[in-house]
Amino acid sequence: VLIQPNADVGCALGARIIAKLVREKPDCVLGLATGRTPLQLYTELIRLHRNDGLDFSRVTTFNLDEYVGLPAAHDQSYRWFMRENLFRHINIDPQRTHVPDGTAADLHAECRDYEKRIRDAGGIDLQLLGLGRNGHIGFNEPTGSLRGRTWIKILSEQTLRDNSAVFGDFSRMPRHAISMGVGTIMDARRLLLLAFGPAKCRAVSAMVEGPLSAICPASMLQWHERATVVLDEASSAGL
Which residues are the active-site residues?
A: 65, 134, 136, 141
Query: Applying CB under 6 A, which part among 2-10, 14-22, 35-43, 100-108 lies near ligand GLP?
Result: 35-43
Annotate each residue in 42-61 with x if it binds ligand GLP (CB under 6 A) or - if it does not, as one string.
Answer: --------------------
- Say whether residue 130 binds ligand GLP (CB under 6 A): yes
Total count of residues recorded for the chain: 239
Residue with the shortest CB distance to ligand GLP: 130
Is residue 174 within 8 Å of 62, Cβ to Cβ? no
Distance between CA atoms of residues 181 and 137, nearest Å: 9
Q: Which residue of 12, 16, 19, 35 would you call a contact of ligand GLP, by CB under 6 A?
A: 35
Nearest to 190 by CA among 36, 29, 63: 29
- Say whether residue 7 binds ligand GLP (CB under 6 A): no
Provide, rounded to whole angstroms, the least separation between the CB of residue 89 and ligand GLP: 19
Residues that bind ligand GLP (rule: CB under 6 A) add up to a total of 14
- Say whether residue 65 binds ligand GLP (CB under 6 A): yes
- Say whether residue 33 binds ligand GLP (CB under 6 A): yes
Q: Are strands 151-154 and 176-179 parallel, antiparallel or unpaired?
A: antiparallel
* DSSP designation for 190: -
* Beta carbon nearer to ligand GLP, 58 or 228: 228
Is residue 30 within 8 Å of 60, Cβ to Cβ? yes
Helices 78-85, 39-52: crossing angle, 10 deg rounding: 40
Q: What is the DSSP string of 36-61?
A: STTHHHHHHHHHHHHHH----TT-EE
Q: Which residue of 10, 102, 135, 138 would you call a contact of ligand GLP, by CB under 6 A?
A: 138
Q: Which residue of 7, 29, 37, 128 would you call a contact of ligand GLP, by CB under 6 A?
A: 37
Residues forming beta bridges with residue 39, ordered by sequence position: none
- Say whether residue 36 binds ligand GLP (CB under 6 A): yes
Provide, rounded to whole angstroms, the least separation between the CB of residue 140 and ligand GLP: 9
- Say whether residue 230 binds ligand GLP (CB under 6 A): no
Site for ligand GLP in 146-175 (CB under 6 A): 159, 163
Report the largest interatomic distance among the alpha carbons of the chain, rounded to a whole angstrom. 46
Neighbouring CB atoms inside 10 A of 5's CB total 9
Nearest to 193 by CA among 215, 165, 222, 166: 222
Query: Applying CB under 6 A, which part among 55-63, 92-100, 109-117, 130-138 lies near ligand GLP?
Result: 130-138
**What stretch of H or E contains 84?**
helix 78-85
- Say whether residue 102 binds ligand GLP (CB under 6 A): no
- Say whether residue 64 binds ligand GLP (CB under 6 A): yes
Which residues in this chain contact ligand GLP in the complex, by CB under 6 A? 33-37, 64-65, 130-132, 138-139, 159, 163
